[in-house]
Amino acid sequence: MKKNFILFLFFVKIIFCNDQIPAKKQIKPIAIINGTVFTANEIIEKGTITFRNGKIEFVGKNFSLTSEYEIIDASGKHIYPGLFSSITTLGLNEVQALRATHDNVEGGKFNPNLKTEVAVYTESELIPVTRFNGITTVNVLPQSGIISGSIATVNLDGWTYEDMLVKSMSAMVLNFPSMKINTAWWETRSEEDQKKENEKSVNELQIFFKDAKAYFVAKKNNSLQKYDAKFDAMINVFEKKVPLLVWAFDILQIQSAVAFAEEYDVRIIIAGGNDSWRIANLLKEKQIPVVANMTHRLPDRNWEQYNEPFLLPKKLYENGIQFCFSADEGGDGNYRNLPYQVGTAIAHGLPKDIALKSITLFPAQIFGVDNRIGSLEIGKDANLIIVNGDIFDIRSNVEMEFIDGKKIDLTSHQTMLYEKYKKDMRNKNLFV
């Protein structure tokens, strides 16, 4: 039995791994010239950006090039920071129908000691697919229980998770208990049963946090009696070094999450936040950022306008709330659609410069990695893309991509299939 299981895992790895070799480390300095540079803070027409050893050394105009540089002429092209997708399970899920390829769920309700980066499958076929559309960095999240574990911020290139890791413990995931009664037709539980389950989850969360806080105080006072891995993992949260990413959607749930954070004196980020604009004053007062839960979704209530989700980013911006985007469309292969979700928000009033920041600089700031990525600035990592048009236009294509200054192979399983069948159809005079 054990032998058969090992063979099964071996074949799963062979079948569901990508063929690409991770990019080689940058050796020669590179200069990209004559492109329109979108730094995330300004736009530079016919600008130049240079980088060496994986770090940006110049952004602007009138740079004196020498023969040591590899020169890339980006005339007529747009140069952007690499895009940052704030919520994904990339590298944790591969095939939805095959349980052996899922690693986003762990047993138990409280797993704060879980470090997601060690589970990232670096050879996932979904990584090149996502990378193809300009996404160079993602947050990888666990999803189960009440406290799921910590978020890892990773670049989408590398042999191992250590190669890919930008930051460990960017946040701790908390699935805040529901505060409402579900009356949808598919709900089989009674209102009374739902209420009891909600109250039970809240009580369990309170007990865990009280015990974890007591552990934190005891360790701080050098009076700790016994080591506990789960409580120990919470110390960075109580010291405010690591925020809680709190999944909360409706008004009552968000308000309860904010009150909970106040009670235990911790930093939080609201994830989902469908109703966040309705309590914008509270979030602004507490300086709580929001990860907007997709643009391409249906309204939560049958009496809301069809474009309610499309307007959420604009409303957050107009109310002075820092935000970024989630592009989880119900499948790990769809994270590539991040710029198009933002494009929908632009079509409904979100300023384009803010839109770009919402998938570059803002998530980097929210998750504490803006010292390295998020904008094209001297000293930051050379994560950038060259696009033959507007990145938010579905007709545009990413032509070149760099992560840490390394040239990235933009082929994927889909592009190879496209080339394969395009050639076959041309031979049969069926495809022009």
pLDDT in the model for residue 8: 41
Domain assignment present for residue 331? The answer is yes
Q: Given 325, 346, 372, which residue is the final one in a domain? A: 372
How many structural domains compose the chain?
Answer: 2
Domain assignment present for residue 356? The answer is yes
Task: Let me know whether 393 and 352 are in one domain.
Answer: no
Paired sense of beta strands 135-140 and 152-155, if any: antiparallel
CATH classification at residue 200: 3.20.20.140
C-alpha separations of 272 from 90, 99, 246 in Å: 18, 26, 8
What's the gap between Cα 125 and its chain centre? 17
Q: Given 344, 372, 400, which residue is the final one in a domain? A: 372
Nearest Cα to Cα of residue 127 among 245, 32, 23: 23
Task: Let me know whether 401 and 332 are in one domain.
Answer: no
pLDDT tens readout for residues 132-167: 999 999 999 988 889 999 999 999 999 999 999 999
Task: Let me know whether 274 and 184 are in one domain.
Answer: yes
Domain assignment present for residue 179? The answer is yes
pLDDT in the model for residue 297: 87
pLDDT in the model for residue 13: 44
pLDDT tens readout for residues 171-219: 999 999 987 777 777 778 888 888 888 889 899 999 999 999 999 999 9
Low-confidence ranges of the chain (pLDDT < 50): 1-16
3-state DSSP: the chain helix, strand, coil percent, rounded to 5? 35, 20, 45
**Dist CA 177 CA 201 (whole Å):** 6
Task: Let me know whether 394 and 348 are in one domain.
Answer: no
pLDDT in the model for residue 412: 81
pLDDT tens readout for residues 116-140: 999 998 988 889 999 999 999 999 9
pLDDT in the model for residue 154: 96
Point out which residues pair with 30 in neighbouring strands. Answer: 51, 70
Task: Let me know whether 368 and 381 are in one domain.
Answer: no
For residue 390, give its domain range. Answer: 19-81+374-411
Domain assignment present for residue 7? The answer is no
Task: Let me know whether 38 and 118 are in one domain.
Answer: no
Q: Where are the beta strands (DSSP E) in 336-410?
A: 384-387, 398-403, 406-407
Q: Given 325, 352, 372, which residue is the final one in a domain? A: 372
Task: Let me know whether 315 and 297 are in one domain.
Answer: yes
Task: Let me know whether 286 and 381 are in one domain.
Answer: no
pLDDT in the model for residue 20: 73
Task: Let me know whether 206 and 71 are in one domain.
Answer: no
